Amino acid sequence: MENDKILILDDEQIVIEAITKHLSRRNYEIYSGKDGKEGLVLYHEVNPILIILDLRMPVMDGVEFLRKINLSPADSCSVIVLTGHGSDEEMERCFELGISAFLRKPFNIYELLGIVSHSIALKKVELDLKAELIQRAQMEDELQRYRNHLEELVEKRTVELQNTNDMLQKEIVERTNAEKHATRSLRDKEVLLREIHHRVKNNLQIVSSLLDLQTKYIKDPSTLDMFKDSQNRLKTMALLHEKLYQSDNMAEIDFAKYLTNLLDHLYRSYCIDTSCILMSTDIDKATIGLDTAVPCGLIVNELVSNSLKHAFKGQQGGRLSVSLHKLDDGQFKLTVSDTGVGLSDGIDLKNSKTLGLRLVNALVIEQLEGTLEFDTNNGTSFWIVFRELKYNTRGTKDDR
Ligand SMILES: Nc1ncnc2c1ncn2[C@@H]1O[C@H](COP(=O)(O)OP(=O)(O)O)[C@@H](O)[C@H]1O
Ligand SMILES: [Mg+2]
């Protein structure tokens, strides 16, 4: 650490030497001048922490020197006046000019040493305090800048968040509107579709009624039979459209319910007594789309009609069984069997001269792309294995 610098200004060399001798021993760095003018030069050059100042000096006296250096409490230097002649007025003026102690000659060197070390210690404390104050002011400045910056950031972020929020709100409103619109449009389409199925069913029934009216003019039993078959085919399809507009999603039909209704209708249509020809059904719960249900319904209509019309001729009665099972591989197995007289030998479904069995064969092979087998021992049994048809939106068959 650097030694503290002391500047002695006195026109008496002997005073300078006496003080220098004592101060040097205490590790101070001593500079000296014989008047105020020299003192000013040294003061600016050396920047001492303490000045020991005589008042009466040639060229420039102590008071003039004090005026020139214009001491203020914030300065890094303090001044002790050491004079042989100072009046009380001069002492007062010197204190006004910022000195810290006033000693008269002749002086006690130890008293001076005490005042010197005390003044230097006090100045150092002052300087430390000043440095600390400056540092604190700087820190506060920096803190304020940081706070301002932070406030700016918060403000900017708030604006950004507000904008994002506004955008999101707008998007939510847009989406909600779009959703409402889509729901409304879907509901409208559902209503429309239900209406279409209803009308198709009604139209099929009208055609059926027209056929019914026409039968009044037909006398030939086999032609009448053909009309009845046609009516039942129409009813089979009308029933499907009825089931569709009653269903929840209008795409799939509860096939078990549909088959039960169809069988009831056929029994009524052929005026069959259910205690005479017993009916047993074993139908798995399954929903099937219209594309599969139409050929399936028509097949059941043909096979059950045949059993009711032909199987029990000349017999007391018997049993008709219809079953539908979903197989493990996802296919369906439909069985229609009766305990009647059985088919005549050598029947060829493909080349049958009659429409019913030919229709069954065509529907199974071409529409359902399934397999058809039958057995004529102990009555007649037909069984058909098929997979539900999957249609794409344009109504063409998907690759399966
Ligand atoms: N379950 C059955 N039991 C006895 N004979 C049947 C049965 N199914 C069909 N047949 C016979 O096969 C013939 C052809 O049937 P089909 O092609 O449906 O014509 P349709 O029923 O109009 O006579 C019937 O006329 C009938 O003699
Ligand atoms: Mg038939």
Question: Mind listing the domains of the chain with CATH numbers?
Answer: 5-134 (3.40.50.2300), 248-386 (3.30.565.10)
Candidate of 272, 301, 310 to mutate for ligand 1, largest count of ligand atoms within 8 Å of Cβ: 310
pLDDT digit string, tens, across residues 304-333: 999 999 999 988 889 999 999 999 999 999
For the CA of 355, the nearest atom of ligand 1: 17
Residue nearest to atom 12 of ligand 1 (CA): 343
Hey, is 345 helix, strand or coil? Answer: coil
Angle at 368 between CA 364 and CA 371, to 5 degrees: 50
DSSP 186-244: HHHHHHHHHHHHHHHHHHHHHHHHHHHHHHTT---HHHHHHHHHHHHHHHHHHHHHHHH
Hey, is 282 helix, strand or coil? Answer: strand
- Per the CB < 8 A criterion, the answer to whether 386 and 364 are in contact is yes
Write out residues with Cβ below 6 Å of ligand 1. Answer: 302, 306-307, 309-311, 338, 340-341, 343, 352, 354-357, 380
Query: What are the DSSP E strand ranges found in 177-269?
Result: 252-254
**Torsion angles phi and psi, residue 240, rounded to 5:** -65, -45
User: Hey, how many other C-beta atoms are within 10 angstroms of the C-beta on 265?
Assistant: 17
Q: What is the pLDDT of residue 163?
A: 97
By the CB criterion, residues less than 5 angstroms from ion ligand 2 are 306, 356
Which ligand is nearest the CA of 232, by number?
Answer: 2
* C-alpha pair distances (Å), 392 with each of 188, 190, 396, 397: 22, 19, 6, 6
Hey, is 18 helix, strand or coil? Answer: helix
In this prediction, the residues of the chain whose per-residue pLDDT falls under 50 are 393-394, 399-400
Expressed in angstroms and rounded, the spacing between residue 101 Cα and the centre of ligand 2 is 140
Candidate of 270, 337, 354, 374 to mutate for ligand 1, largest count of ligand atoms within 8 Å of Cβ: 354
Residue nearest to atom 13 of ligand 1 (CA): 354
Q: What is the pLDDT of residue 396?
A: 53
For the CA of 347, the nearest atom of ligand 1: 12
